[in-house]
Structure 1
Amino acid sequence: MANQTALLPEHQNLVESLVSSGRYEGPHAVLTAALALLQEKERERAARLSALHAVLAAELSSAHASGDAAAAPLPRLAPQAITRLSA
């Protein structure tokens, strides 16, 4: 069963241009290449987010261990910061 997806006219023109240039065998090959790039970008984003979580956890642990009163609101604010940074 074939999936059909409507593309914006500018995206359809790009796909047609890439296929007619001979660079790709057909629209499926263009979309496959585009999705591979998107997957890689998502993997990189997940890795950055994981690193951010690790740094934040270490900083929170260090601040808590040192009794830093200024760090008290950090556990409450951390999820908001991560959400904003990971978008």
Structure 2
Amino acid sequence: NAIIDAIKTTLDRTPPELSADIMDRGIVLTGGGALLRGLDKRLRHETGMPVRIADAPLQAVVLGSGKCLEEFEVLQRVLVSPSRR
């Protein structure tokens, strides 16, 4: 229940413009937690949103970090520095 509650709290705090994207595209589970049996179905039931498990959930963070490094100049343009918050 703690995982579900944390996800629901995060969704409640998500800005509306990002929430719309999540509602359209759904939630992608990554990492070891994505391998918990039935988590995707339970989360789908609790949130009413589409939920899927990433193709390689255990490698997702590494692959995403690699993509960020490959496109770091683009990423820098959208990052918010602490002084700009």
- TM-score normalized by structure 2? 0.24
- The structure number with the bigger radius of gyration is 1
Report the structure, 1 or 2, having the larger strand content. Answer: 2
- TM-score normalized by structure 1? 0.23
Higher relative contact order (CA 8 A, sep 6+): 2
